[in-house]
Chain A
Amino acid sequence: MIANRDVNLTVAPGEIHAIVGENGAGKSTLMKILYGMLRPDEGTIAVDGRQVTFKTPTDAIAAGIGMVHQHFMLADNLTVLENVVLGAEPRKGLRLDRDAARTRIREIGEAYGMAVDPDRMVEELGVGDRQRVEILKVLYRGARVLILDEPTAVLVPSEVDQLFENLGELKREGVTIIFISHKLDEVLKVADAVTVIRAGTTVTTVDPKDVTARDLAELMVGSELPTPETRESTVTDRVVLAADGLRVTSPEGRTLLDDVSFRIRSGEILGIAGVEGNGQRELIGAVLGLQHLAAGTISLDGADVSSWSTRRRLEEGVGYIPQDRHRDGLLLEAPLWENAALGHQTAAPFSKGIWIDRAGARARTEAIVADYDVRTPGIEVPAHALSGGNQQKLIVGREMEAKPKVLVAAHPTRGVDVGAQAAIWDQLRDARAAGLATLLVSADLEELIGLSDTLVVIYRGRLVATLRPEEVTPEVLGSYMTGATVAEGAA
């Protein structure tokens, strides 16, 4: 399989060079090659004009290249110091020389404006600090070229600003930065040069001053962008799902969700916008009955279901597309037909009385595979063998085919390719037209604006604004989500 071909990339010293491309365009493969985690079949890499071959990351580190991974490579239960020096420890005899390490880390931190207390446990750090530790790790090893893989994916806007300040500092000290992202506005803000990569090939390198985000996006996709556009309203008067005064507290007594109320009618999609970690998980848990309610009620079709078990709610017509399909949506080792039954194992065609109906389950699975375009050699293969997009299509298919009254969809198109994304949007719209009430939680603002009939913003566990999607822009929504704007008429 060819993941990259004809990739040409030239990065000048001391510049911030962005590489943009869609999920699956081959950015990660390129980075792995630059960092010695993969070896190219053809082609060469040169650092400072000298041709180099990297067999392992150690070689890349020796050549002054450092990588800040998207998924942090940090051990929670070790201190910052231990994480930073691991593998390159200063020693005094056999002992780890903590004093020398501490001094060195403080020096680097001060030089680049990234001070982190070396003696804190990593698990106590926030995401921004963790990222700083990752960068410190690389600088500690003397890297002059920094590769940052999707560094802003996990940061809130204020932390992104902080990161960009740090990057500016690094640049002034002469460090070269390769910045991988698909957030175009950020790229335009920080980069000195932008290279676009599509289907494994570099398309072009442009100066960010000459292009708009829309231009870049079309270069990335290579065609007109699909947009989720809900046509005429299908909202009816019949309230299917209602939440009143929901409150959820953590075991330590912190309030995670407070006074949340909303109504979703048949044929309506209610979009929940918010920065991740502001109570979305708890809200979904409350609707599904996975989360204990400290106060408030949930009703389904007019019946108070607050005391119902998760199973009973699912049986009464709640469908669920989870945010993290590997964790909450699939049995990775089980065959597809068993996965298709998950969440519906108590109902036809998956069971008859106390027995599992294997024939019925298999027939339904075959139908889902065919109708939802799940690419698989068969329904007996384990779920882990499928690509992320196909796994997601299977989940969407199983929930839609169960004909739910209410669908809880969390990030329904995360990590799927453009074609599958458009298909899933179509399915959501069709179900809506057929009367489905949908609670849509997403971080993709265009998806939220394009699909929702009503948008509410969740911030620190409260619903702080109700917005009309046809009037709102991503920028305005973003400012509500970060608490920068406090709305009138909060829901």
Chain B
Amino acid sequence: MSGQHPTRPEDFDLFALGALDADEKQAIETHVATCAECAQKLAEAQGRMAILAFAAPRVEPSSGVKEQLMRQLHATAEGPGGSLARKQREPANGTSSRWWAVLVPIASAFALATILLWLHNEQLTRQLTDLRETVQQQEQQLEESRHMVELMAARDTQVVSLAVQKGQPEGAARVVYNQREGMMMYDGALPPAPPNKSYQLWLVPMKGAPISAGVLITTNGTPSHMMMKLPEGVAAKAFAITLEPAGGMPQPTGPMVLVGPVS
């Protein structure tokens, strides 16, 4: 084994954080290369520090990134450039110049045909991918609808309408809750949250502190719905929507916007 075990357990976290200076970092790198126990501790520290990323404000990538990524996968598959490039690298093997006069136009025509075929194939592949995605989206919507219908049909499912509180902006929301399965569906239309704020939905249990059901996605007053999973078997006294700092809070801190008691 190279070197001593780090003297303090936090050394692994400081390494994962990137805070150690070069000499301290080198000592740990050398040691863990030959010490399985410390390598495991370092892997755990890497995970612990990695989740600090969740403190970053949520930023979704533009849809173009995924499209470019998928195009990049296709581009690396065998395309016309690869085979053409290989053909161009092949030696002439002493063929006389008059053969070139015949072969070059043929090769050019062949290359052009290959490119046209490849482009056509690309177009068909894109159409097929679009169709496949449409079918999958419809299947997903169907599956979600099926879940909703099952939830609504269950005898022990509760439907709770939430009422706007005095002084709060107009909005409407409804919660469908099944205590046995811990399944909840939110259905509502809320105005956009103010800058740096999020709407958060809470289950207020018969006993104990409110349980977060998640941060709501608002779409400028357009009705939206979300399925949520909560702990099973929690009896609800009420449901409430509060306005919290962006990303939500572990417990409600902001004003109640809508509330609905469970009858």
Q: Do A and B bind each other?
A: no
Q: Give residues in A with beta carbon < 8 Å to B.
A: none
